[in-house]
Each structure stands twice: as structure tokens, then as C-alpha cells.
Amino acid sequence: MFGNWIKTSILMAGIVALFGVIGGLIGGQQGMLIALLFGGGMNLWAYWFSDKMVLRMYKAREVDASTSPYLYNMVRELAGRAELPMPKVYLIDEAQPNAFATGRNPEHAAVAATTGIIRMLSERELRGVMAHELAHVKHRDILISTISASVAGAISALAQFGMFFGGRGEDRPNPIVSIIIMILAPIAGMLIQMAISRTREFGADKGGAEISGDPAALADALAKIDAYARGIPMHTADEHPETAQMMIMNPLSGGGLKGLFSTHPATEERIARLRAMR
């Protein structure tokens, strides 16, 4: 928990510094001041609202015991076993089997699952997946994960800032702005790689297995998700690759720069560790 707060603080300080440096390159002292204010405001916004932004991005709809009793009651039972407050529960109308957790703390958490994962997995396997997501909540991984996604996405706003502040007209674009645009995606990817440790997935797998009491169920679920997810694209994730690290399985269909946003360890190793727990 303390380590995640340190990582979050470093990430927030880093984004303010990055905005300031690039703002200074584009617009001098005035540009730096505007960029620093923008970066500080972005941090405040990310802390309070980034979870809502991600849920809205995926067109997630909140459900309850009357609209989706199967999923809601499952999460409620698992949250009780984990001694966690009941999180909000969301459904995402996507064919790809996947799930994620978001929020700034266990008291303001949400878990989301795609309709594809509910159709594909057995009840036992789905319990393993939702227990994994609740383990992220219990370990307080969700704050750094959600803020990383929103901050990495916000870096692209630097391009818009540069176009607005440093442009020279359609015929003579500012060369600094052009360079910034070219390096935005790698910077965003590297920020996520530095902020998000791949070991957190192993920790959530272990914690989820302990919450559900069935390590083999999560292992079976991961094997099934890995087999099917690669052939079913998730267009929202492809358009916003910075959110990929939030999912239980990497949802990205392409390589190239998108590979920078992959923070998931090998599925085979995750499965092997779970099976060893038995």
C-alpha cells in the first residue's frame, strides 16, 4: 500500500515536470507556466475522476441485484469474503472476454466485466476472475493503475497544446511540435511501464485465489481467456492502449508501439503459479 502511494506521487510529480519542460520548449516562460498549471490541474482531475473517465470510455453501465443478479451477487459474496466494502459493479458490452477494477481506494472502487467473459466462463471460473479484480482493490493497485491510464492518455493533450500555442500556420508547422507529437506515445508507454509492475498481476492472482478459495478456477479462466481474447478485438482498448494494463488479460490486438503499454506477465507463468498453489 505504502509503495503504491510512493509510485503515485512520483508519477504525479513526473507528469507536472514533463508538462513544464515541454511547455517551456514550446512557449518559453509563459508556456512553461501554462503547462505547469495544466499538469497540476490534470493531476487533481485524475485523482478524483479518472475512474469515471475510463468507465465512460468503455461505455460501461452500472448494474445491481435487480438488473444483473448473477454478477452482482457474485461480487457481493466475494467482497464479503475479502472483507471489502461492496464496490460498484459494471457491465461492458464487448465480445472479448476481459475484466478490470478501478477507483481511488476500496471505499470508492468499481469492478467491470465484459458480456463476453460472462458468456464464456463457467460460474466457478468467473468467480476466480472477479476475486482477482477484488484483490487489486484490496492491494490498492487500482489508484496507480487508473491514474497511469488517464495520465498517459493526457500526454496526448500536449500535442493539442503545442498546436495551439506553438503552431506557425498550415504551411510552416513548428518543428518542435512535430517532434513532440512523434514521441508522445513512447513517453506515455514508458510512464506506464515504470509505474506499473508486472508483479502486481502475480499478487492479484494469488490474492484472488485466496479470496475465492479455488486457485485452479482462476488458472482455468486465464487459459480460456488467453485462448479466445487474441482473436476477438476490443476496439476501445486499441484506440486507448494506455488502459490495457488495467485488464486481467492484455486486450490489445496489435504490436508496434502498443507493445509499450503491455504490463502483463506471460499467461503460462501465471497459470503455473496458480496450479502450484493447490
C-alpha cell at 87: 464496490
The answer to whether residue 269 is catalytic is no
What are the phi and psi torsion angles at 110 (to 5°)?
Answer: -145, 145
Q: Is the dihedral of CA 122, 90, 261, 198 positive or negative?
A: negative
Write a three-state SS string for 114-159.
EHHHHHHCCHHHHHHHHHHHHHHHHCCCHHHHHHHHHHHHHHCHHH
CA distance 162 to 159: 5
Q: Is the dihedral of CA 17, 150, 162, 178 positive or negative?
A: positive
Is 201 known as a binding-site position?
Answer: yes
Radius of gyration of the chain (CA): 20
Is 132 known as a binding-site position?
Answer: yes
Is 268 known as a binding-site position?
Answer: no
User: From the CB of residue 80, how many other CB atoms can be counted at a distance below 10 Å?
Assistant: 11
Give which of 224, 206, 201, 211 is closest to 277, Cα–Cα.
Answer: 206
Catalytic-labelled residue, pool 94, 125, 133, 242 = 133
Binding residues for Zn(2+): 132, 136, 201
Catalytic residue list: 133
Binding residues: 132, 136, 201
